[in-house]
Amino acid sequence: MTGITTSGEKNLRLFSGRAHPELASEVAEQLGTELVPTKAFDFANGEIYVRFLDSARGADCFVMQSHTAPINQWIMEQLIMIDALKRASARSITAILPFYGYARQDKKHLGREPISARLVADLLRTAGADRLMAVDLHTAQIQGFFDGPVDHLFALPMLADYVATRVAPERLTVVSPDAGRVRVADQWSDRLGAPLAIIHKRRDPNVANKVMSAEVVGDVRGRVCVLVDDMIDTAGTICAAADALFENGAADVIVAATHGVLSGPAADRLKNSRVSEFVFTNTLPTPASLELDKVTTLSIAPSIAAAIREVFEDGSVTSLFEGVH
Protein backbone atom coordinates (compact mmCIF):
# COMPACT_ATOMS: atom_id res chain seq x y z
CA MET A 1 0.00 0.00 0.00
CA THR A 2 1.35 3.39 -0.95
CA GLY A 3 0.50 6.77 0.56
CA ILE A 4 -0.79 7.80 3.94
CA THR A 5 -4.44 7.88 5.03
CA THR A 6 -5.56 10.34 7.72
CA SER A 7 -8.74 10.43 9.74
CA GLY A 8 -8.84 14.21 9.91
CA GLU A 9 -12.16 16.00 9.48
CA LYS A 10 -12.88 19.07 7.35
CA ASN A 11 -12.48 22.40 9.11
CA LEU A 12 -14.48 25.55 8.27
CA ARG A 13 -12.92 28.90 9.19
CA LEU A 14 -14.70 32.24 8.72
CA PHE A 15 -12.68 35.46 8.41
CA SER A 16 -13.83 39.05 8.19
CA GLY A 17 -12.23 42.26 7.02
CA ARG A 18 -12.92 45.57 8.72
CA ALA A 19 -15.40 46.93 6.15
CA HIS A 20 -18.60 45.40 7.56
CA PRO A 21 -17.83 43.20 10.59
CA GLU A 22 -21.45 43.33 11.82
CA LEU A 23 -22.66 41.28 8.86
CA ALA A 24 -19.81 38.79 9.26
CA SER A 25 -20.69 38.35 12.95
CA GLU A 26 -24.31 37.64 11.98
CA VAL A 27 -23.18 35.03 9.46
CA ALA A 28 -20.92 33.39 12.07
CA GLU A 29 -23.84 33.26 14.51
CA GLN A 30 -26.04 31.63 11.86
CA LEU A 31 -23.33 29.03 11.27
CA GLY A 32 -22.85 28.42 14.98
CA THR A 33 -19.19 29.42 14.91
CA GLU A 34 -17.03 32.46 15.63
CA LEU A 35 -14.91 34.70 13.43
CA VAL A 36 -11.21 33.87 13.44
CA PRO A 37 -9.39 36.49 15.56
CA THR A 38 -7.51 38.86 13.28
CA LYS A 39 -5.00 41.62 13.84
CA ALA A 40 -5.39 44.36 11.22
CA PHE A 41 -4.27 47.97 11.10
CA ASP A 42 -3.07 50.70 8.75
CA PHE A 43 0.48 52.03 8.71
CA ALA A 44 0.97 55.79 8.72
CA ASN A 45 1.30 55.86 4.93
CA GLY A 46 -1.94 53.89 4.41
CA GLU A 47 -0.46 50.42 3.89
CA ILE A 48 -2.55 47.62 5.38
CA TYR A 49 -1.24 44.91 7.72
CA VAL A 50 -3.18 41.71 8.42
CA ARG A 51 -2.30 38.68 10.55
CA PHE A 52 -4.61 35.87 11.63
CA LEU A 53 -4.20 34.78 15.24
CA ASP A 54 -5.31 31.16 14.69
CA SER A 55 -4.00 28.51 12.33
CA ALA A 56 -5.60 28.13 8.89
CA ARG A 57 -3.54 25.11 7.77
CA GLY A 58 -5.70 22.57 5.95
CA ALA A 59 -8.89 24.57 6.57
CA ASP A 60 -11.66 25.58 4.18
CA CYS A 61 -11.44 29.34 4.60
CA PHE A 62 -14.20 31.87 3.83
CA VAL A 63 -13.10 35.51 3.67
CA MET A 64 -15.90 38.09 3.94
CA GLN A 65 -15.46 41.67 2.83
CA SER A 66 -18.16 43.97 1.51
CA HIS A 67 -16.76 46.62 -0.80
CA THR A 68 -18.14 49.72 0.86
CA ALA A 69 -16.51 53.16 0.98
CA PRO A 70 -13.54 53.68 0.92
CA ILE A 71 -13.91 50.92 -1.64
CA ASN A 72 -10.30 50.67 -2.81
CA GLN A 73 -9.03 50.20 0.74
CA TRP A 74 -11.39 47.34 1.47
CA ILE A 75 -10.71 45.54 -1.81
CA MET A 76 -6.99 45.75 -1.07
CA GLU A 77 -7.51 44.46 2.47
CA GLN A 78 -9.43 41.44 1.16
CA LEU A 79 -6.66 40.70 -1.34
CA ILE A 80 -4.08 40.85 1.47
CA MET A 81 -6.19 38.54 3.65
CA ILE A 82 -6.47 36.01 0.82
CA ASP A 83 -2.73 36.17 0.20
CA ALA A 84 -2.07 35.58 3.92
CA LEU A 85 -4.30 32.49 3.89
CA LYS A 86 -2.65 31.12 0.76
CA ARG A 87 0.74 31.42 2.47
CA ALA A 88 -0.71 29.86 5.64
CA SER A 89 -1.50 26.63 3.72
CA ALA A 90 -5.29 26.95 3.67
CA ARG A 91 -6.97 23.98 1.97
CA SER A 92 -9.35 26.23 0.03
CA ILE A 93 -10.15 29.95 -0.03
CA THR A 94 -13.58 31.36 -0.84
CA ALA A 95 -13.84 35.13 -1.21
CA ILE A 96 -17.29 36.32 -0.09
CA LEU A 97 -18.32 39.67 -1.58
CA PRO A 98 -21.78 40.67 -0.34
CA PHE A 99 -21.30 43.72 -2.57
CA TYR A 100 -18.91 43.32 -5.51
CA GLY A 101 -16.94 46.51 -6.04
CA TYR A 102 -16.65 47.93 -9.60
CA ALA A 103 -19.49 45.66 -10.76
CA ARG A 104 -21.03 48.50 -12.81
CA GLN A 105 -17.90 48.61 -14.98
CA ASP A 106 -18.62 45.25 -16.59
CA LYS A 107 -18.30 46.26 -20.26
CA LYS A 108 -16.95 48.99 -22.53
CA HIS A 109 -19.37 51.73 -23.54
CA LEU A 110 -16.72 53.91 -25.20
CA GLY A 111 -13.22 53.41 -26.58
CA ARG A 112 -10.25 53.33 -24.20
CA GLU A 113 -12.39 52.37 -21.19
CA PRO A 114 -11.43 49.59 -18.73
CA ILE A 115 -13.52 46.58 -17.76
CA SER A 116 -12.86 47.05 -14.07
CA ALA A 117 -15.19 44.28 -12.88
CA ARG A 118 -12.98 41.79 -14.75
CA LEU A 119 -9.86 43.35 -13.19
CA VAL A 120 -11.26 42.82 -9.68
CA ALA A 121 -11.97 39.16 -10.50
CA ASP A 122 -8.42 38.73 -11.83
CA LEU A 123 -6.95 40.30 -8.70
CA LEU A 124 -8.91 37.99 -6.42
CA ARG A 125 -7.80 34.94 -8.43
CA THR A 126 -4.18 36.05 -8.47
CA ALA A 127 -4.23 36.67 -4.71
CA GLY A 128 -5.25 33.04 -4.19
CA ALA A 129 -9.06 32.82 -4.12
CA ASP A 130 -10.35 29.46 -5.38
CA ARG A 131 -14.00 30.47 -5.37
CA LEU A 132 -16.18 33.59 -5.28
CA MET A 133 -19.51 34.13 -3.56
CA ALA A 134 -21.46 37.33 -4.24
CA VAL A 135 -24.96 38.71 -3.75
CA ASP A 136 -26.93 40.11 -6.71
CA LEU A 137 -24.17 40.92 -9.17
CA HIS A 138 -24.90 43.95 -11.36
CA THR A 139 -24.97 41.62 -14.37
CA ALA A 140 -24.81 37.83 -14.49
CA GLN A 141 -21.93 37.92 -17.00
CA ILE A 142 -19.55 38.90 -14.18
CA GLN A 143 -19.61 35.25 -13.10
CA GLY A 144 -17.60 34.50 -16.24
CA PHE A 145 -14.87 36.97 -15.32
CA PHE A 146 -13.56 34.71 -12.54
CA ASP A 147 -11.62 31.60 -13.55
CA GLY A 148 -13.20 29.31 -11.00
CA PRO A 149 -16.56 28.53 -9.33
CA VAL A 150 -18.84 31.51 -8.59
CA ASP A 151 -21.86 31.24 -6.29
CA HIS A 152 -24.39 33.93 -7.20
CA LEU A 153 -26.80 34.57 -4.31
CA PHE A 154 -30.12 36.39 -4.70
CA ALA A 155 -31.98 38.72 -2.34
CA LEU A 156 -35.15 38.72 -4.46
CA PRO A 157 -37.03 36.02 -2.47
CA MET A 158 -36.48 37.82 0.83
CA LEU A 159 -37.24 41.31 -0.54
CA ALA A 160 -40.32 40.21 -2.50
CA ASP A 161 -41.75 38.25 0.43
CA TYR A 162 -41.31 41.31 2.65
CA VAL A 163 -43.10 43.58 0.17
CA ALA A 164 -45.94 41.04 -0.04
CA THR A 165 -46.49 41.45 3.71
CA ARG A 166 -46.80 45.23 3.30
CA VAL A 167 -49.16 45.49 0.33
CA ALA A 168 -51.83 43.17 -1.07
CA PRO A 169 -50.56 41.72 -4.39
CA GLU A 170 -53.71 42.81 -6.26
CA ARG A 171 -52.81 46.45 -5.55
CA LEU A 172 -49.16 46.11 -6.66
CA THR A 173 -47.40 46.93 -9.89
CA VAL A 174 -43.73 45.98 -10.22
CA VAL A 175 -41.69 48.68 -11.95
CA SER A 176 -38.30 48.36 -13.61
CA PRO A 177 -36.38 51.67 -13.33
CA ASP A 178 -34.73 51.09 -16.73
CA ALA A 179 -34.45 48.59 -19.57
CA GLY A 180 -31.49 46.85 -17.91
CA ARG A 181 -33.56 45.72 -14.92
CA VAL A 182 -36.53 44.32 -16.86
CA ARG A 183 -35.51 40.70 -16.41
CA VAL A 184 -35.23 41.08 -12.62
CA ALA A 185 -38.51 43.02 -12.48
CA ASP A 186 -40.16 40.21 -14.47
CA GLN A 187 -39.04 37.71 -11.81
CA TRP A 188 -40.56 39.97 -9.14
CA SER A 189 -43.76 40.12 -11.18
CA ASP A 190 -43.96 36.32 -11.39
CA ARG A 191 -43.29 35.87 -7.68
CA LEU A 192 -45.84 38.49 -6.56
CA GLY A 193 -48.41 37.84 -9.30
CA ALA A 194 -48.39 41.56 -10.12
CA PRO A 195 -48.32 43.40 -13.47
CA LEU A 196 -45.12 44.95 -14.80
CA ALA A 197 -44.29 48.51 -15.86
CA ILE A 198 -41.06 50.01 -17.17
CA ILE A 199 -39.51 53.46 -16.90
CA HIS A 200 -37.75 54.44 -20.08
CA LYS A 201 -35.03 56.91 -19.20
CA ARG A 202 -32.55 58.88 -21.20
CA ARG A 203 -29.21 59.51 -19.51
CA ASP A 204 -26.76 62.34 -20.10
CA PRO A 205 -23.76 60.44 -21.58
CA ASN A 206 -21.38 63.12 -20.28
CA VAL A 207 -22.59 63.30 -16.67
CA ALA A 208 -22.58 60.28 -14.33
CA ASN A 209 -25.82 59.49 -12.43
CA LYS A 210 -27.81 62.11 -14.37
CA VAL A 211 -31.09 61.26 -16.10
CA MET A 212 -32.34 63.72 -18.71
CA SER A 213 -35.91 62.41 -19.02
CA ALA A 214 -38.10 59.50 -17.94
CA GLU A 215 -41.41 58.13 -19.23
CA VAL A 216 -43.56 55.34 -17.83
CA VAL A 217 -44.52 52.40 -20.03
CA GLY A 218 -47.46 50.60 -18.47
CA ASP A 219 -50.50 51.43 -16.34
CA VAL A 220 -49.61 52.61 -12.82
CA ARG A 221 -52.60 54.88 -12.07
CA GLY A 222 -54.03 54.19 -8.64
CA ARG A 223 -51.52 51.39 -8.04
CA VAL A 224 -48.90 50.85 -5.35
CA CYS A 225 -45.67 50.65 -7.35
CA VAL A 226 -42.63 48.73 -6.17
CA LEU A 227 -39.49 50.01 -7.90
CA VAL A 228 -36.86 47.26 -7.95
CA ASP A 229 -33.11 47.61 -8.55
CA ASP A 230 -29.86 45.92 -7.60
CA MET A 231 -28.26 49.03 -6.07
CA ILE A 232 -28.99 52.63 -5.15
CA ASP A 233 -25.98 54.92 -5.15
CA THR A 234 -26.74 58.66 -5.08
CA ALA A 235 -30.51 57.92 -5.28
CA GLY A 236 -30.99 60.52 -8.03
CA THR A 237 -32.19 58.00 -10.62
CA ILE A 238 -34.55 56.12 -8.32
CA CYS A 239 -36.10 59.29 -6.86
CA ALA A 240 -36.61 60.69 -10.36
CA ALA A 241 -38.26 57.39 -11.33
CA ALA A 242 -40.56 57.64 -8.30
CA ASP A 243 -41.51 61.21 -9.27
CA ALA A 244 -42.39 59.97 -12.77
CA LEU A 245 -44.66 57.31 -11.27
CA PHE A 246 -46.45 59.83 -9.07
CA GLU A 247 -46.88 62.14 -12.07
CA ASN A 248 -48.56 59.22 -13.87
CA GLY A 249 -51.04 58.71 -11.05
CA ALA A 250 -49.39 56.11 -8.81
CA ALA A 251 -51.03 55.91 -5.38
CA ASP A 252 -47.79 55.08 -3.59
CA VAL A 253 -44.22 53.97 -4.32
CA ILE A 254 -42.01 51.50 -2.47
CA VAL A 255 -38.36 51.07 -3.46
CA ALA A 256 -36.64 47.69 -3.00
CA ALA A 257 -32.93 47.25 -3.70
CA THR A 258 -30.31 44.75 -2.60
CA HIS A 259 -27.40 47.14 -2.15
CA GLY A 260 -27.81 50.50 -0.43
CA VAL A 261 -24.59 52.19 -1.58
CA LEU A 262 -26.10 55.57 -0.62
CA SER A 263 -23.31 57.95 -1.55
CA GLY A 264 -23.16 61.75 -1.43
CA PRO A 265 -26.62 63.37 -1.55
CA ALA A 266 -28.49 60.06 -1.11
CA ALA A 267 -29.47 60.75 2.52
CA ASP A 268 -31.17 64.06 1.70
CA ARG A 269 -32.85 62.62 -1.38
CA LEU A 270 -34.32 59.71 0.57
CA LYS A 271 -35.53 62.01 3.34
CA ASN A 272 -37.20 64.43 0.89
CA SER A 273 -38.61 61.78 -1.44
CA ARG A 274 -42.33 61.01 -1.64
CA VAL A 275 -41.45 57.30 -1.56
CA SER A 276 -43.15 55.75 1.48
CA GLU A 277 -40.52 53.06 2.15
CA PHE A 278 -37.03 52.13 1.00
CA VAL A 279 -36.15 48.46 1.56
CA PHE A 280 -32.52 47.32 1.45
CA THR A 281 -30.50 44.35 2.62
CA ASN A 282 -27.45 44.74 4.85
CA THR A 283 -24.88 43.73 2.21
CA LEU A 284 -23.48 47.20 2.94
CA PRO A 285 -23.52 49.06 6.27
CA THR A 286 -26.31 51.63 6.50
CA PRO A 287 -25.02 55.15 7.25
CA ALA A 288 -26.18 56.59 10.58
CA SER A 289 -27.69 59.52 8.67
CA LEU A 290 -30.14 57.09 7.07
CA GLU A 291 -31.65 55.60 10.19
CA LEU A 292 -35.09 56.83 9.14
CA ASP A 293 -38.58 55.43 9.68
CA LYS A 294 -38.96 55.02 5.92
CA VAL A 295 -35.74 52.95 5.57
CA THR A 296 -36.03 49.21 6.28
CA THR A 297 -32.97 46.94 6.32
CA LEU A 298 -33.34 43.17 6.01
CA SER A 299 -30.50 40.81 6.93
CA ILE A 300 -28.87 38.79 4.14
CA ALA A 301 -26.87 36.82 6.74
CA PRO A 302 -29.11 33.69 6.70
CA SER A 303 -28.71 33.37 2.91
CA ILE A 304 -24.93 33.77 3.04
CA ALA A 305 -24.63 31.33 5.94
CA ALA A 306 -26.78 28.74 4.12
CA ALA A 307 -24.61 29.09 0.99
CA ILE A 308 -21.40 28.72 3.01
CA ARG A 309 -22.75 25.55 4.59
CA GLU A 310 -23.70 24.09 1.19
CA VAL A 311 -20.23 24.83 -0.21
CA PHE A 312 -18.49 23.39 2.85
CA GLU A 313 -20.62 20.24 2.81
CA ASP A 314 -20.36 19.81 -0.99
CA GLY A 315 -24.07 20.52 -1.36
CA SER A 316 -25.99 22.64 -3.87
CA VAL A 317 -26.09 26.41 -3.59
CA THR A 318 -28.42 26.55 -6.60
CA SER A 319 -31.07 24.63 -4.65
CA LEU A 320 -31.33 27.56 -2.24
CA PHE A 321 -32.64 29.81 -5.01
CA GLU A 322 -34.77 27.57 -7.19
CA GLY A 323 -36.75 29.63 -9.70
CA VAL A 324 -34.48 32.69 -9.37
CA HIS A 325 -31.86 33.11 -12.09
Active centre residues (catalytic): 201
- Burial zone of 81 (CB within 10 Å; 0-12 exposed, 13-18 middle, 19+ buried): buried
* Residue 56 CA: distances (Å) to CA of 14, 219, 271: 10, 57, 46
Is it true that the peptide bond before 70 is cis, omega within 30 degrees of 0? yes
Q: How far apart are CA 184 and CA 195, in angstroms?
A: 13
H or E segment and range at residue 93: strand 92-97
Rounded Cα distance, 112 and 146, in Å? 22
CA distances from 118 to 70, 101, 106, 129, 144 (A): 20, 11, 7, 14, 9
166: amino acid identity, one letter = R
Query: Does an H or E element contain 211, and which?
Result: strand 211-217
Rounded distance between C-alpha atoms, residue 325 and residue 319, angstroms: 11
- The whole-angstrom separation of Cα 85 and Cα 95 is 11
Neighbours of 241 (CB within 10 A): 24
